[in-house]
Amino acid sequence: MLYSELIHPKISEVIARAGHSAKILIADGNYPASSAIGPKAELVSLNLAPGLVTVAQVLRVLLTAVPVEAISTMGMPADDPYRLAHDPPVWSDYRSIISSAGLLLELQPISRWDFYDTVASRDHVLTIQTGDQALWANLLLTVGVRKPL
């Protein structure tokens, strides 16, 4: 029986093998998860229906199960037709979840094309595909270290 909120067997298996600096992508429903993935990464599809589940819901649960040292968002290029004039509203939700988890982390935007390159790296171990319909909702978590008791 697990103490954390995470009970998904495949996600638990992959993050148990992940070490310091491993990358976990929580992808929104528009992310090309079948093609923009690291060479050794596992894909877990949680995209049940549009809006189910959301990146924020997955983030909240993952933060109960794995140490995170950095969280990156997909940045909005100036010429992107879906660019917003302000931070996407969902980023406020992420900041609230991060704060509620007791973490002092800032969201670090990575420009869209650099984000894809980062995900394609050998450090990428897991993509969790959601049905989130929010624009610019992708998150890339960097696994930290488990501190001694």
Separation CA 83–CA 136 (nearest Å): 9
Separation CA 2–CA 64 (nearest Å): 11
The separation between the first and the last C-alpha atoms of the chain, rounded to the nearest angstrom, is: 21
**Residue of 50, 59, 37, 48 whose CA lies nearest to 121:** 37
Mean pLDDT of all residues belonging to the chain: 95
pLDDT value of position 46:
96
Q: Place 1 in a pLDDT band, splitting at 50, 70 and 90.
A: low
Separation CA 17–CA 125 (nearest Å): 9
Q: Is 40 helix (H, G, I), strand (E, B) or coil?
A: coil
Quickly list DSSP for 9-75.
Answer: HHHHHHHHH--TT-EEEEE-TTS-TTTS--TT-EEEE---BTTBS-HHHHHHHHTTTS-EEEEEEEE
Q: Place 148 in a pLDDT band, splitting at 50, 70 and 90.
A: confident
Please determine, for residue 76, whether its predicted confidence score (pLDDT) is greater than 70: yes
Please determine, for residue 2, whether its predicted confidence score (pLDDT) is greater than 80: no
Q: Which domains does the chain have, with CATH numbers?
A: 9-143 (3.40.1650.10)
Please determine, for residue 85, whether its predicted confidence score (pLDDT) is greater than 80: yes
pTM above 0.85, yes or no: yes
CB 135 within 8 A of CB 59: no
Separation CA 144–CA 50 (nearest Å): 31
Please determine, for residue 147, whether its predicted confidence score (pLDDT) is greater than 90: no
